[in-house]
Amino acid sequence: MRISVCTSCALGRAGFGATLEEALREAGIVAEVQGIECMSGCTRPSSLAFRAEGKTAYLFGDLTPEDLPDLLTFARLYAASADGNFADARPLGALRTKALARIPG
């Protein structure tokens, strides 16, 4: 799984990528976190995307540091999903309303 954090947005400029990477490692979730200059989510910053081979990709916006627990839950569920889709989005908490795009795998 690869997670891209927009470094043009406030959250990315504040070093959220490193915070997320450490939290993922502590939770035992295997993911590559990378900073991307601009993810074109400017109308709903801060942006972050999840991608994995053969899975639906997700772009989230309006993120704050308080979304970290929901992002960890998402990462855990995404890693466990065969195709990146979820039958029930309720466990995703506030991320349900922060999804900007779902891109078929």
Q: What percent of the chain has pLDDT over 90?
A: 90
Number of H helices, E strands in the chain: 3, 5
pLDDT reported for residue 86? 87
Residue 87 has pLDDT above 90, yes or no: no
CA dihedral 66, 22, 16, 1 (to 10 degrees): -100
Residue 105 has pLDDT above 90, yes or no: no
Residues 6+ apart with CB under 8 A from 22: none
Domain that holds residue 37: 2-103
Average confidence score pLDDT of the chain: 95
pLDDT, tens digit, for every residue of 36-82?
A: 999 999 999 999 999 999 999 999 999 999 999 999 999 999 999 99
Confidence label for 84 from pLDDT (cuts 50, 70 and 90) = very high
pLDDT reported for residue 28? 97
Burial (0-12, 13-18, 19+ Cβ within 10 Å), 99: middle
Domain containing 57 — which CATH number? 3.40.30
pTM: 0.94
Peptide bond into 81 cis (omega under 30): no
> Is the distance from CB of 85 to CB of 56 less than 8 angstroms?
yes
Number of domains in the chain: 1
Reduce the DSSP state of residue 36 to 3 states and report it.
strand
> In the beta sheet, which residues pair with residue 54?
none
Residue 88 has pLDDT above 90, yes or no: no
